Amino acid sequence: MEKCLKLISRFMKLMPTMFEGGPDPMVVEDWFDQVKKYLLTIGVSNNHLKIILATYNFFKDAMLWWKSVTNRHDVETMDWDTYKELFYDKYFPIIERWELQREFDLLIQGTMTVTEYENKFTFLSRFTPNLVRDEANMIQKFVFGLHYSIRPALTAQNLKVYIEAIERALMIEAEAKDRNMNRE
């Protein structure tokens, strides 16, 4: 029990955000990512302790939900993946995750700038880790979503690092903008 109290104290010093539940899946995703980072920071690997700390800052709807979970499940032996699945099923339903995955699948630059496209690409890619599991897949997906005026110059190169693809796309975009300004 003393170990648990010390961990709670260390966890709380990191000032984790309180979680009350709610309909915004981005708040859910950001909160969960923050908790994972804090648990890693203080070196918690035990499933039960992770769950205790993760649920420590629940209030309102989240606390009521967690009470109902503890009535239906043996949380003493619950593993982290089960907790995460229950949490996501409640606060970030699969249909919403599928919609974000589909949005990523269909993402193209269109009228966005390269910077806007890359920001959206990065944001949505976290919902489809299987599609961007390594640099090569990430580069391929990014490049094939670029505007047709930029894409050919990048596909001809054998890029190995994602940030290089972004930098080259930005350079090509800047050159095109400069050419257009000089024409006018």
> pLDDT tens digits for 19-42?
999 888 889 999 999 999 999 999
Would the pLDDT of 184 be above 70? no
CA–CA separation, 66 and 55 (whole Å): 8
Containing structural domain, residue 52: 2-94
pLDDT tens digits, one per residue of 63-84: 999 999 999 999 999 999 999 9
- Is 143 found in the same domain as 167? yes
Domain limit, last residue, from 32, 66, 94: 94
Would the pLDDT of 181 be above 80? no
Bridge partners of 19, per DSSP, are 58
SS3 58: strand
Domain limit, last residue, from 25, 60, 94: 94
Q: Provide the token pair at 20.
A: 């009350």
User: pTM of the predicted model, to two decimals?
Assistant: 0.78
Alpha-carbon dihedral angle through residues 30, 125, 93, 61, given to the nearest 10 degrees: 0
Most distant CA atoms of the chain, gap in Å: 73
